[in-house]
Structure 1
Amino acid sequence: MPTNKKEGIIFTTLMCFLMVLGMSTYNLWLHHSLTLKELLIGFIPGFIVAFVLDVFIVGVLAKKIAFALPIDPQKKLPMILTISTLMILGMVTCMSLFGILMQNGLSDAMLSQYLTAWKMNVIAALPLQLLIVGPVSRSVLVKIQNA
């Protein structure tokens, strides 16, 4: 885990970049429009919104909730899994709404579209975060800390 502000910014930026890249690719693939142009168009605003949400809202709440739970903060794996899961749930909740609004705007079918998007995004975000992005980001952070 990051031990200072610089490491925190690097870690958050890398985590956010990889998750937005992975989830943008996944969502474009679901909608059969996986092109580099579409990916770049959606990636930049998605990354900005995700980064702001992570730093100022979701990350703060996820950590506050995780440390309030009866989990020993000295045990790293349970704490990492708890924070990661809470982050996934918070970010999927927010970013699914962002995606629906960006793709369709306000519509009568928005609630149905949102619920479908939320379910599909949780299915992809959980393993992406827990098995790929989280471990890669922590590995990079360890290399920075040991440099």
Structure 2
Amino acid sequence: MSILPVSKKEQVIFGLMMCTGMVVVMMTFNLWHTGMLGRMSEMQMLLQFVLCFVIAFLVESFIVGPIARKIAFSFSFARSSKIKGVVTMSLFMVIGMVLLMSLYGIITAVAAGQLEGESVISTYLHTIVRNFGLALPYQLIVLGPLVRYVFGKLFKGPAAVMTV
């Protein structure tokens, strides 16, 4: 059974859970990939997490989420079954979030002087491919099912059952 939020409060809680899981993994992955993971203090890591989390949550809540929902459920097959709806929605969420959060990563790298002598566009495109390669399977196989399971335990009852 797929559990998704129905009220505004549930949408916020679901989004907080999903953003937390995605930001922890994707931020760690990108810091490791760029060699910054071992060079940052715990306070720098915490600050980076908070900033990235706030931006990701706002982007997801006000830009990517609404657009992804509109696109995903414009396809009749996404409305035909719960699993198709969840997978389609997850796909469009990951696409949007990878595009925008990779841009955020590139902007912070440029601001920190980490891309000197490198092509910003080439680095951005490479970052998108790398991030998408982790984000989609992680979302579909690990985090999405885990968050829906935990969310379902928190919000028991017929109102929380997804109706697509």
Provide TM-score, normalisation by structure 2.
0.83
- Residue 6 of structure 1: aligned partner: 9
The question of 1:145 aligning with 2:155 is answered yes
Deviates more, 1:60-69 or 1:26-35: 26-35
Q: Match for residue 39 of structure 1? A: 45
Could you tell me whether the CA contact under 8 Å between 2:78 and 2:88 is conserved in 1? Answer: no
Cα deviation, 1:14-57, whole Å, max 9, x if unaligned, reads: 00111011100111111223246253232111111110111101
Write the distance in 1 (CA, Å) between the matches of 2:35 and 2:135. Answer: 19
**Partner of residue 48, structure 1:** 54
SS at match of 1:68: coil
RMSD over equivalenced CA pairs, Å: 1.8
Structure 1 gap ranges (5+): none
Tell me the CA shift for residue 135 of structure 1.
Answer: 0.8
1:120 corresponds in structure 2 to: 130
- The Cα shift of 1:72 comes to 4.8
Helix, strand or coil at the partner of 1:118:
helix
2:45 corresponds to which letter in structure 1? Answer: L
After TM superposition, the score normalised by the length of structure 1 is 0.92
Q: Is the 8 A contact 2:102 2:124 kept in 1?
A: yes
* C-alpha distance in 2 between matches for 1:84 and 1:8: 15
Identity of aligned residues (%): 38
2:64 corresponds to: 58
Q: Would you say how many aligned residue pairs link Structure 1 and Structure 2?
A: 147
Q: Equivalent residue for 1:27?
A: 30
